[in-house]
Amino acid sequence: MLILAAALTSTWLIWSGMIKPLLFVLGAVSVVLTIIMAVRMRLLRKSVFALALLPRMFGFWTSLLIDIIKSNIAVAKIVLSPRLPIAPTLLRLKTPTPGAIGQATLANSITLSPGTITIDSHRGELLVHCVDQQSADELRAGNHGERVNRAVAGR
């Protein structure tokens, strides 16, 4: 609860950027209201926020960023080439991560890199739509799931 309060307060201060009495009081009131609502929704009992994962996530984000840039260039080439060489492929992917956070991270990171979109997530299986054969092959061969696993579960 204290962590949430600190995070909300710092968010408010960053967004407003000025410290006037009125704004400060408004911020305090909204922080308190948000915490009351979060407690009533029992959000604090489950570890939804997963703040403890944050330090390990940075390495994963860096490698994800490189992936995103690479696949951006690949998809831009496809879009701008006159023949439009697409070959849509559906791919069923088993996820190695059991937890909800891990699956969400994996699905979102697949969607985030252009050329692959997760369109269904059901019982540990992801249905991924790929724009061409190459991106499907990369996903099939790649160790994406293992990287997510390492970042989330620390294994």
Partner 1 sequence: MTLVVEWLSNLMLLIGGFFVLTGGIGAIRMPELYSRMHASSLTDTMGSMMVLGGLAVKAGFTLVTLKLGIVAVFLLFTSPVSAYALGNAALVAGYRPLADKSESAHGAESKS
Stretch touching partner 1 by CB under 8 A, among 29-37, 46-54, 83-91, 139-147: 83-91
CB-nearer residue toward partner 1: 102 or 114: 114
- Whether 144 contacts 97, CB under 8 Å: no
Q: How many CA atoms lie within 13 A of 19 on its CB side?
A: 3
Reduced to 3 states (helix: H, G, I; strand: E, B; else coil), residue 95 is coil
CB 17, min distance to partner 1, A: 5
Binding mask 92-131 for partner 1 (x = CB under 8 A): ---------------xxx-xxxxxxxxxxx-----x-x-x
- Quick count: other Cβ atoms within 10 Å of Cβ 42? 8
53: contact with partner 1 by CB under 8 A: no
Concatenate the DSSP letters of all residues of 36-49 into one string.
HHHHHTTTTTTT-S
9 binds partner 1 (CB under 8 A): no
Contacting partner 1 (CB under 8 A), which of 7, 72, 137, 142? 72
Q: d(Cα 80, Cα 46) in Å, to the nearest integer?
A: 46
3-state secondary structure of 128: strand
Does 76 sit near partner 1 (CB under 8 A)? yes
Q: Which stretches of the chain bind partner 1, using CB under 8 A?
A: 14-15, 17, 68-69, 72, 75-76, 78-80, 83-90, 107-109, 111-121, 127, 129, 131, 133
